[in-house]
Amino acid sequence: MIAFATAVTSVNSMLFTAVKWAVYAVAGLMIYEVIARYTLTAPTSWAPELATLIFGPYFLLGGPYLLHIGGHVAVDILSARATGKLKNILIIVGMLLAFLFGAILLWFSFPQAVQSFEYGETTFSAWNPVIWPNKAALPLAAFLLCLQALSEIILHLRGKGGN
C-alpha cells in the first residue's frame, strides 16, 4: 500500500513539475498581446484565448500534488490545535472529503469530456480551437485528486503522513 501511495505521489509530483512552467507561457502570451495591441495596434484574436486554454489545465493538474504538500487554503482552526490521534483523524476526514469532491467532479466531468471529443467541440470564436483537451483535463485532475487523497489516507494510517 505504501508503494501505491508513493507511486501516486511521484506521478502527481512529476505532473506538477511539468505544468508549473505553463504560467510562464501564459505570461508571455499576455505580454505579447499587450505589445501587439498597444504598441503595434494589431491585437490578436488568439493570444488571450490560448492563455485561457493553457491556464485551465495548469490550474487543475497542479491540484493533486498541492493536496500532498498541503498547499491548498484550509480552515484549520481545529486541526492546528489538535495533536496526536485527533490530528490524524481530522486529516483523514479531510482527505475523505477531498476524495468525495474529486469523485463527484469525475462523475460529472467525464461524460462532458467524452462528448466534447466526439463532437469535435470548438470555442466558436474567431480563432475557433478545439477544446476537448481542456475538458479532458478536468476528469484527469479529478481522478488524480481521488488517487492522491487515497494515498494521503494510506500514508497517515501507516504513520508516514507529511501534513
Q: What is the pLDDT of residues 54-78, one digit of tens each?
A: 999 998 999 999 988 887 777 677 7
Q: What is the pLDDT of residues 109-139, one digit of tens each?
A: 999 999 999 999 999 888 999 999 999 999 9
Could you state, in order of their start, the residue ranges of all structural domains in the chain? Answer: 2-157
pLDDT at 83: 81
b (16+ CB within 10 A) / e for 36-73: eeeeeeeeeeebbbbbebbbbbbebbbbbbebbeeeee
All 3 cell numbers of residue 87? Answer: 490530528
- Are 158 and 82 in contact, with CB atoms under 8 Å apart? no
- Alpha-carbon distance of 144 to 150, in angstroms, equals 10
- Alpha-carbon distance of 28 to 43, in angstroms, equals 15
- Alpha-carbon distance of 72 to 3, in angstroms, equals 25
- Bridge partner residues of 130 (DSSP): 122
Q: Is 45 helix (H, G, I), strand (E, B) or coil?
A: coil
What pTM, to 2 d.p., does this model score? 0.86
- Alpha-carbon distance of 146 to 61, in angstroms, equals 12
Position 160 pLDDT exceeds 70: no
- Alpha-carbon distance of 62 to 137, in angstroms, equals 11
